[in-house]
Amino acid sequence: MLREIVLDTETTGLDHRKGDRIIEIGCIELLNRIPTNNTFHQYIHPEDRDVHPDAQAVHGISMDMLRDKPKFNQIAPDFIKFIGDSPLVIHNAAFDIGFLNAELQRLRQPAIAMDRVVDTLALARRKHPGAAASLDALCKRYFIDNTKRTLHGALLDSWLLAEVYVELLGERQATLGLAQNGTQRRGDATAVSAAPLIRQRPLTPRLTDADIAAHLAFVATLGPEALWIKFERPSGSESASGQA
């Protein structure tokens, strides 16, 4: 079974090399491209770094909101355990991986290798060259409801990205409609899976009695041990080999 993790972060600013820190992580587990209820979400205190006003305008997270939140070293074990060795699906992956690896380096933990990352920004640019490839633009392209996204948020953006990812792969939302009790969360909305249609009348058989007799006669030429004999014995009649 294919397990993937859709991941997003929010940060104090744009450059981890200048001391900016992660202040929110949101992750969603996918199994065979279907979101599960298994998620990881955590706000994080940035220690000695303030949230830049420009960044706060994007995600709405202030220092007051982070005062009682754990530091990265406190949440790192649970985060590392959650992602395991699964592929990571990230939009503009270099940004998030740069921040994550900067945090992991402070803890002397192994870095996350880029070869385990699927960058949906790169996927979008290859599939739609020259077109806008932001998360909002992709939601619009694929008719994914993102009206709740008035501000960026790591977990909400991960839900939206999970849908975008399946669209970019050409698998539509058929998989995303499968869930417990026939529903699946999509962003902050709920999708209801459709019940399969049942044919009211069976299709008319295309094989004639002569076709069936000819096939059984051919199978009889294959010998008494032929595998077909186990499946071709008509109900209430002798087998093609002539044995009861």
**Residues catalogued as catalytic:** 152
Helices (H), 107-236: 120-127, 135-141, 154-168, 209-220, 229-232
Residue 134, Cβ neighbours under 10 Å: how many?
12
Rounded to the nearest 10 degrees, the angle between the axes of helix 72-83 and helix 93-106 is 120
Residue 124 to residue 39: CA distance in whole angstroms: 25
DSSP 8-65: EEEESSS-GGGT--EEEEEEEEEETTEEEEEEEEEE-B-TT-PPPHHHHHHH---HHH
CA torsion sign, 132 to 135 to 141 to 145? negative
Q: Could you give the dihedral angle defined by the CA atoms of residues 125, 129, 132 and 138, in that order, rounded to the nearest 10 degrees?
A: -60
Residue 185 to residue 191: CA distance in whole angstroms: 6
Q: Give the phi and the psi of residue 215 in degrees, each rounded to 5.
A: -65, -45
Q: How far is CA 173 from its chain centroid?
A: 11
Look-up of token digits 């071709």: 232
